[in-house]
Amino acid sequence: MKAVLLIALVATISLRTSVAVTITDPDLRVEEGDDVVIVCQSTNSNPTIEWKYNDDDLPSDERFNVTSSESGSTLTIFNVTRADEGIYTCKESNSQFDAQLTVYTIPIVKVTSVPLSRQITVGENRTLTCETNAYEERIEWTKNGRDVSQMTNIVVEDDTLTIINTQWTDAGVYECSINITDIAKQDIVRSDLYDLVAPVNIILTKNVKLEEGETARIGCNATGYPSPT
């Protein structure tokens, strides 16, 4: 009887799974001067991850630091500036993921005036300027707490407010407010006030004639802004 020899062939099949990378926080808003950390995680172990900034290599700046781990890569940007805004991309094989970095500045606001004097001169044109270091700002002007858009002799253009043919009634408190969105996507408002004053005008009642012994009553009316006392 012939012996039958069975030979078993064992094949080892390697399955290559698709690689996927993700960034834990793809929408980053940070204040200028802060540090920002962008974490890229991969489904592959010990991945080789490449970072891009606006589809180009990362800036050759010591403020940019990349560290690797078994699960991904971390990009840290120290002391961020507005110039660092943009799209940061982590890439591995055919997979990539983007993060948008937005840098904001807590605004400083100051109102200046031309002419410099705070006292109104009737008939002049006066321009108030809202000076700020903010960007992407939303500027709002008010007079004594009221929106100026319906005031017929006031023209607002960009960061300036111009009073045409100024009258004493234009005296009051003008406020410039700046609105920005912070890291938590909450509105931050900063403002500055500028007082325009009207000169005091005193009016006495007309002359009166009295007999000796009668009581004299002399009226005095004063107008101006702020209201005289």
Structure tokens of 42?
Answer: 């991969």
Distance of CA 91 to the CA centre of its chain: 31
Domain spanning 109-200, CATH architecture: Sandwich (2.60)
Alpha carbons 96 and 40: distance in angstroms, whole number: 10
* pLDDT at residue number 147: 95
Q: Outline which parts of the chain fall under CATH 2.60.40.10.
A: 21-104, 109-200
Whole-Å CA distances, 195 to 160, 174, 201:
16, 6, 18
Superfamily in which the 21-104 domain is placed by CATH: Immunoglobulins (2.60.40.10)
Q: pLDDT tens per residue, the chain (229 residues)? A: 444 433 333 333 333 445 588 988 899 988 889 999 999 999 988 899 999 999 999 999 999 999 999 999 999 999 999 899 999 999 998 899 999 998 887 788 999 999 999 999 999 999 999 998 876 568 899 999 999 999 999 999 989 999 999 998 999 999 999 887 665 566 778 889 999 888 766 666 666 676 777 776 766 666 666 666 6
Record the pTM: 0.58
Comparing C-alpha atoms, which of 205, 203, 195, 200 is closest to residue 221? Answer: 203
